[in-house]
Amino acid sequence: MRIGVISDTHGLLRPQAVAALKGVSLIIHAGDIGAPEILEHLGRIAPVRAVRGNTDRGEWARALPLTEVVDAGGVQLYVLHDLHTLALDPKAAGFAAVIFGHSHRPHLEGKNGVLFLNPGSAGPRRFTLPVSLAYLKVQGKSLHTEFVPLTV
């Protein structure tokens, strides 16, 4: 199973991101979506699971959860926008990965057997940070990640 992981689009869904996500079986958006049309467009590529970010406002955004548990072929993923708001022990809760956004910085780290993944920002460039998304490949109980830089 190949999952597209995207975050911090802030209302901008780049054609490069759309092209990179074609062929994934699921898309996870880790917040700061910016507009409901982003989710609608992503939903035409693959099923979408999304959480609300700190800049997501309005009725459409209030319908989104702040956190989400995604079952990916028997592997449990925990999704939230800002890692600083993590209010549980992901290892004790049985999560294989924590997926987050907010910082606009791509990040990959293993802690206590849990993968922490921030795909970076796929929306407007912030400072000199890269514009990117990520793939999360689930093979049995193993997780493999790949960052996808978006040329802008």
pLDDT at 58 over 90: yes
Number of domains in the chain: 1
pLDDT at 44 over 90: yes
List the CATH number of the domain containing 57.
3.60.21.10
Number of Cβ within a 10 Å radius of residue 124: 15
pLDDT at 126 over 90: no
Domain that holds residue 78: 2-149
Say what the pLDDT of residue 47 is.
98
pLDDT at 12 over 90: yes
Above pLDDT 70, what percent of the chain? 100
Say what the pLDDT of residue 122 is.
97
Laid out side by side, the sheet with 107-111 consists of: 67-72, 75-80, 97-99, 114-118, 107-111
Q: What is the pTM of this model?
A: 0.97
Alpha-carbon span 33 to 148, nearest angstrom: 18
